[in-house]
Homo-oligomer: A and B are copies of this chain.
């Protein structure tokens, strides 16, 4: 009995977590297409062909669901963009890998609707509350990651000492967001490649003679 109970308890929690994760992966893609505000318990239940009460067992409210969806999107972004980039050597290779992987996660439609966080940012920027705070916190962490990679590249002697890390991170970010916009709204098929070329050129003019060449993927 005791063994069975343990086994039941031990087996049940991971399954519940797996179910929750499966639900959230669908929620992330749905929100990336239809917006985070359109992500209601009812809409998600329709999509999953689950009962609303079944979903309420996982998420007590629309806001809980939105917050859990943002956290899942962050985990997916870290998996696809940050972890692979951290495998590259410090300095320019890592900075470039962050930029490249970031554009690639949009090109490869890791989120069905494109860039989850860019869309969420613009959807919630004027709406104070926990959802906006969670999006802003995730984006700040990403900006700090970019900023830190620029600082490292300076320390390694790959970027000129005159480079202002927050300024370069801002320019890189802006070019990626602009490409996302042109690709999604104007169906500009070349936008992401154009952003990649522009970011590479922007970084290149700031490199030193000691800098390794950025690996280019076209």
Contacts and interface: CB of A to CB of B under 8 A. Distances in A.
Contact of A178 (B33, B119, B173): B173
Q: Quick one: copies of this chain in the complex?
A: 2
Contact of A37 (B38, B170, B191): B38
Interface string A42-54: 0000000000000
A124 B118 CA distance: 13
A37 to B, nearest CB: 7
B140 A184 contact: no
Contacts of A127: 33-34
A173 B191 CA distance: 12
Contact of A126 (B124, B139, B184, B198): B184
A55 interface: no
Contacts of A81: none
B35 A123 contact: yes
Contacts of A122: 118-119, 121-123, 181, 184
B178 A174 contact: yes
A135 B122 CA distance: 15
A58 interface: no
A36 to B, nearest CB: 10
From A119, A123, A174, A181, name the one whose CB has the most chain B CB atoms within 10 angstroms.
A174
How extensive is the interface on chain A, given as a class? 35 or more
B194 A125 contact: no
A175 interface: yes
A75 B174 CA distance: 26
21 contacts: A32-B126, A33-B126, A34-B127, A35-B35, A35-B37, A37-B38, A119-B125, A121-B122, A122-B181, A123-B123, A125-B185, A132-B185, A136-B186, A139-B185, A140-B186, A143-B186, A170-B178, A170-B198, A173-B178, A174-B195, A177-B181
Listed from nearest, the 8 A-B pairs whose CB atoms lie closest are A174-B178, A122-B122, A125-B184, A113-B126, A125-B185, A33-B126, A174-B174, A121-B185
Given A35-B37, A122-B184, A177-B177, 9 more contacts: A35-B35, A37-B37, A114-B126, A118-B181, A121-B181, A123-B123, A171-B178, A174-B177, A175-B178
